[in-house]
Amino acid sequence: MNKITMKVPFVDFNSQHQPIKTQLYQAIHTVLEQGDFILGQALADFESAFAAASGTAYGVGVASGTDAIALGLQACNIGAGDEVILPANTFIATLIGVLRTGAKPVLVDCDPKTALIDLEAAARAITSQTKAIIPVHLYGQMVSPQQLLDFAKTYKLLIFEDAAQAHLAEREGYRAGSVGIAAAFSFYPSKNLGAFGDGGMLLTRDLDVAQKMVRLRNYGASQKYFHTESGTNSRLDTLQAAVLLEKLPYLPQWNSDRLSIAQQYDSELAPLASAGIIPMQNHSGTGHVYHLYVIKVDDACLLERQQIQDKLNADGIQTGIHYPIPCHLQPAFTYLGYQPGDFPQAEKLAKQILSLPMYPGLSSSQIKEVVAAIASITLTSSNTENSSSTPVSSIVG
């Protein structure tokens, strides 16, 4: 079988890493020289810097974004007997994080235009046991902070943000991580701010939460060999923190580049709306940081999403699906008792969404190539169905 050469990869790190390669090497070298590989100086510096950049007080680095959710909820005293509301169309780590605390996850549907949590659905799911809500700032767009704060005040709930895809995202004067009592971030390599391996962080404005999180990530120890809680080993490596600290000053520009790319995609894709290609809506203006650029292949399109993805792949254009199976339909979690049809918007989106290439350094010509390929695929299909349709050349020429 011939290997397909990717003309437009889904992610390419070269444009980010090459210009600062010397600085990255130096940051790693400094840690090697100091030898403080666990809970070292670069970690403390990065925790402070990332918290400040996000508009909150404290940062606690952990081994992964999943641990940031699970341990972070525990640090907020979420546990057995509590119910936590979260959207059905999030990455499975959000659900796993809740389950690891012993709390009961309560899934709700989403807004089909943005894929963000539907707060009206969340209101209907509240019981006397509901203690917290996890708004997932999906694809790089925040859930409305003002609506969240009003919601939490009305129902007396904690807001725990899942900001794994929303580094320095903004909306209504708030940055991701500064709205609720705490927020979880991931530094998986493909994130807007990515490490050279796994990593995560809890941000919080609450000193008690921060101090408990420091203990939980380090075997529950308040001091060496003195364990005041049942913790675990989940510490962001000093080497990874040094890399992230070096990259952090460039993040605003990288996010700005992502926004410009998204704006070009919006413009180039607009003529394809009649063919059923619909970008997810941006309700955050310039505060959307576009970790992902996601389109819907809706009912007006004569082709299935998988057909389009396969044809793009064959043309050397790599895409993704975030996410193809909602949490409640994952085989591992059938015991939660949810059924197909429980969350129709999330289930429909899972069949329609397609993530296009998105990364700083993606060129204008590459964006045009992606859109031209989608136009050729979808409009050729439309023309086959209806010979009077708009000629493909008028769109892609």
Sign of the torsion angle spanned by Cα atoms 72, 76, 81, 87:
negative
Residue 191 bears catalytic tag: yes
CB atoms within 10 A of CB 224: 8
- Catalytic residue of the set 104, 153, 191, 247: 191
Contact of 176 with 183, CB cutoff 8 Å: yes
Tokens representing 272 are 């394809």
- DSSP single-letter state for residue 254: H
Cα first-last separation, the chain: 32
The three-state secondary structure class of 171 is strand
Query: Distance (Å, rounded) from C-alpha 86 to C-alpha 342?
Result: 14
The three-state secondary structure class of 264 is helix
Alpha-carbon separation of residue 193 from 119, 289, 358, 366 (angstroms): 28, 11, 14, 23
The full DSSP string for 49-85 is HHHHHTT-SEEEEES-HHHHHHHHHHHTT--TT-EEE
The residues annotated with a catalytic role in the active site are 191
